[in-house]
Structure 1
Amino acid sequence: MRLAHRLLMATPASIGSKSSLSEALALLPPLQLYRRILRVHRRLDPEMRVLGDSYVKKEFRAHRTAENPLHIIGFLTEWQLYAQKLEGDNWTGDKLDEAKLNKMSDQQIGQLFELMQAIRNEGQGEGDGEKQ
């Protein structure tokens, strides 16, 4: 994610993207954002933290060599919104925006499905442990 400093400070509105953000959002550099997300994950249950940390590490590693500025801005914007939701504790029960879902590729939808299964399996594992 090699970006010029001005791209990191760009807001979605300034690059022509229609976003659900009500106000301008200065993006954090990738490493700072990565660290912020891992810090926020400390609030989660241990099982969910392990799942979340491994997913974040995998995604940031996969996008390390991205060169398209719009993809990078979109990636950083979504992860920053994720971090803000976790910090504000208003993320539980939140549904995925249908417009974002429609823009996803088949591979992204597959990843989302795998993540959903992992979360459900984690929840079932907790329920099984209580019954014993």
Structure 2
Amino acid sequence: MRATSRLLASATSATRSGGGLRPEPMALLPPIPLYRRLLRAHRKHLPSQMRVLGDEYVKTEFRAHRKVDNPAHLIGFLTEWQLYAQKIEGDSWIGEKLDQAKIEKMSDEQVGQLYELMQAIKKQREEDGL
């Protein structure tokens, strides 16, 4: 009887502390561990040609954002890369289309980078005969 009341008390305290149906906020990884996680995910989950392209892109982006001081920009950058890592690790990225809202928020430079990435992927596929 005591064990049951203890379990009930722990269950009610868990629901009060936010353990209900609402998902817990994702803790952001610091830049270097996230960078390593991305490269590991590429090594484990991507074919070799895609891995080379992905690794170069990750390295370039992290170098370009090395000296960012704006906290909002940094949080957005790390959040998107962490979501990307989770998708790569879960193989849910295959066949997924980009969210239109995210594309609308992109600058002209970012859209240009996205276009260049698409062209590089198409070129790689043509070389592989797919």
Q: TM-score, normalised by structure 1?
A: 0.78
User: 1:92 and 2:75 equivalent?
Assistant: no
User: 1:67 and 2:32 equivalent?
Assistant: no
Give how far 1:92 is off. Answer: 0.6
User: 1:34 and 2:35 equivalent?
Assistant: yes
Name the stretch that deviates more: 50-59 or 38-47.
38-47
Give the structure 2 partner of residue 4 of structure 1: none
Q: Helix, strand or coil for the counterpart of 1:107? A: helix
Matching residue's letter, 2:41: V
Structure 1 residues 99 and 23 mapped into 2: Cα distance closer, same or farther (>3 Å)? farther
Give the structure 2 partner of residue 118 of structure 1: 120
In structure 1, how many angstroms separate the alpha carbons of the residues matched to 2:81 and 2:24?
Answer: 17
Q: Helix, strand or coil for the counterpart of 2:95? A: coil
Equivalent of 1:108 in 91, 107, 110: 110
Runs of 4+ in 1 over 2 A off after TM superposition: none
In structure 1, how many angstroms separate the alpha carbons of the residues matched to 2:63 and 2:113?
Answer: 15
Matching residue's letter, 1:115: L
* Larger Rg, first or second structure (1 or 2): 2
In structure 1, how many angstroms separate the alpha carbons of the residues matched to 2:68 and 2:80?
Answer: 15
Amino-acid identity (%): 66
In structure 2, how many angstroms separate the alpha carbons of the residues matched to 1:66 and 1:114?
Answer: 23
Give the structure 1 partner of residue 5 of structure 2: none
Matching residue's letter, 1:28: L
Give the structure 1 partner of residue 12 of structure 2: none
Q: Helix, strand or coil for the counterpart of 1:27? A: coil
Give how far 1:23 is off. Answer: 4.3
In structure 1, how many angstroms separate the alpha carbons of the residues matched to 2:97 and 2:126?
Answer: 21
Structure 2: any 5+ residue segments left out of the alignment?
Answer: 1-22
Structure 1: any 5+ residue segments left out of the alignment?
Answer: 1-21
